[in-house]
Structure 1
Amino acid sequence: MHVLDRIERKVLLNAPRKQVWEALIDAERFGSWFGIALKGKAFVAGETIEAPITYPGYEHAIWKARIERILPQTLFSFRWHPFAVEEGVDYDKETPTLVEFTIEDHAPGILLRVVESGFDAVPEARRQKAYKMNSRGWDEQMSNIETYLNHARQA
């Protein structure tokens, strides 16, 4: 089976652009829907951030990402090692994938798109599993941000 190099997901969010943007770029808010303990942390372009994963079943793992670009209210991107959850494995030797979130107006809401690319560079031994797990993971995360924003609106 040929694994594609990229995963793309999109969701139409019924929320103001500013609120969608803050759910992405405010590290604490991002962590609350993404499943990472980012309390007190901030996303800064060019910096690497590490935090414990709070997602059930993966609490043993550390989320590590290098923040790439932050274009206000438009694009947020980072590099990470996909499905890097095995204990005792040094993933830093691998080439990370690039995750890009873009937001655009799309009446009556905001279209959030996420593209993760670069799976061709993931070592073959774990490429297919990483792709499969992240394909599923992005489906779930798109649903998570939608739920998070709906709750934020009702609060």
Structure 2
Amino acid sequence: MSMQNLDVERSIWIAAPRERVWQAITDSEQIAQWFLPGALGAHMKRDDTGKISVQMGEMAIDYAILDVVDPPRQVISRSLPDKLISTIYKLEEEKDGTRITVTLTGFESLPEDARNERFEPSGTAWEQALENLKAHIDGTERPFPYTSVASLCGYWRETGEQIAVERSIWIAAPCERVWRAITDPEQVEKWFSPGTQWSGTGPQVGGRLYVAGPDNTEMYVQVIELVEPPHRYVTRTQVEPPEKPEVTDWKLQEENGGTRLTLTYISYQLDSAQRGMMEQHAIGFGMMLENVQAHVEGKPLPYPGGF
């Protein structure tokens, strides 16, 4: 990490020509082989605009825009949907092989705590990913088959007590409009689970948001912890001890005539199974924010089946 510009930077030497390494970091089918966990069963596709999508069965999830700056020396990957975090790949010829340096940038736009909690997991993940890239090019087995994609993309936050994934999106609407979309049960239904009715007490501390079940039961209950309209809204899951609740922290900030909506999902369970679930949440929340954006802007939902 550079203390001047707050980037995460990692590098590795690979015994292969630069053109071969370039192919491995720009060809979508090859990226999937060293970047994605094998257990995910997914592959990648790149279209004519440079957009890379993760293909999981019949579902396609937009992942990044690949901007070829100087082939075969430099390419930049910008995360979707927010484009806040960029990954810069630089390739240099060195000792009959190639030195590849990866720099994760964009952390300077984040609050200090959000930056600090990303540096270590992102740095570790890129050390592992570059070893996987080297193995892919060498034709050997990947040493790290379960590298955290959320950390590679800069979505993962971690302290000694909690893990979290954080996603954001810019919406062409005032904060007040976005606030209603995430706090009004009728609007939550439209972008989160079309056809499944949500109910609630309204945005008040101690209130609840839930789906009405049979026999007047409440399902998928979210208990409201903090209400600061129209800028912050915090809920937690309702669980039975000793299970620990998970927290959803929404932040709304005016930006460029619209709203920057940031979602932080926090878990206090640090076991491997929960980490795997959080990896899936990192992808799902990006999709969910795209639905919120489309709903607020009056456009068709990109994921009409909901979540």
Residues 1-155 of structure 1: pairs in structure 2 closer than 5 A: 5-35=6-36, 37-39=42-44, 41-42=45-46, 44=48, 47-51=50-54, 64-80=63-79, 92=81, 96-151=84-139
SS in 1 for 2:16: coil
Larger RCO: 1 or 2 (CA < 8 Å, sep 6+): 1
- The 8 Å contact of residues 16 and 97 in structure 2, kept in 1 or not, is answered as yes
Report the Cα distance in structure 2 between the residues aligned to 1:42 and 1:72, rounded to whole angstroms. 17
Post-superposition CA distance 1:32-84 (Å, at most 9, x none): 10116334x1265x54333168xxxxxxxx67212233422111111127xxx
Off by >6 Å, runs of 4+ in structure 1: none
Percent identity among equivalent residues? 22
When residues 10 and 30 of structure 1 are mapped into structure 2, their CA distance, relative to the original with a 3 A threshold, is: same
Letter in 1 for 2:75: F
When residues 50 and 21 of structure 1 are mapped into structure 2, their CA distance, relative to the original with a 3 A threshold, is: same
Q: TM-score, normalised by structure 2?
A: 0.38
When residues 72 and 43 of structure 1 are mapped into structure 2, their CA distance, relative to the original with a 3 A threshold, is: farther
Letter in 1 for 2:114: R
Report the Cα distance in structure 1 between the residues aligned to 2:35 and 2:114, rounded to whole angstroms. 23
Structure 2 spans left out of the alignment, 5+ residues: 141-307
- The 8 Å contact of residues 95 and 122 in structure 1, kept in 2 or not, is answered as no
Report the Cα distance in structure 2 between the residues aligned to 1:139 and 1:63, rounded to whole angstroms. 24
Q: For the aligned residues, what is the CA RMSD?
A: 2.8
Post-superposition CA distance 1:98-135 (Å, at most 9, x none): 21101111112111111111211134453322222111
Report the Cα distance in structure 2 between the residues aligned to 1:35 and 1:78, rounded to whole angstroms. 15
- The 8 Å contact of residues 43 and 67 in structure 1, kept in 2 or not, is answered as no
When residues 123 and 49 of structure 1 are mapped into structure 2, their CA distance, relative to the original with a 3 A threshold, is: farther
Give the strand-richer structure, 1 or 2.
2
Structure 1 spans left out of the alignment, 5+ residues: 54-61, 82-91
Q: How many aligned positions are there?
A: 130
- The 8 Å contact of residues 17 and 93 in structure 2, kept in 1 or not, is answered as no
Q: TM-score, normalised by structure 1?
A: 0.70
Report the Cα distance in structure 1 between the residues aligned to 2:84 and 2:9, rounded to whole angstroms. 17
Post-superposition CA distance 1:21-42 (Å, at most 9, x none): 1101111101110116334x12
Match of 2:207 in 1: none
- The 8 Å contact of residues 16 and 110 in structure 1, kept in 2 or not, is answered as yes
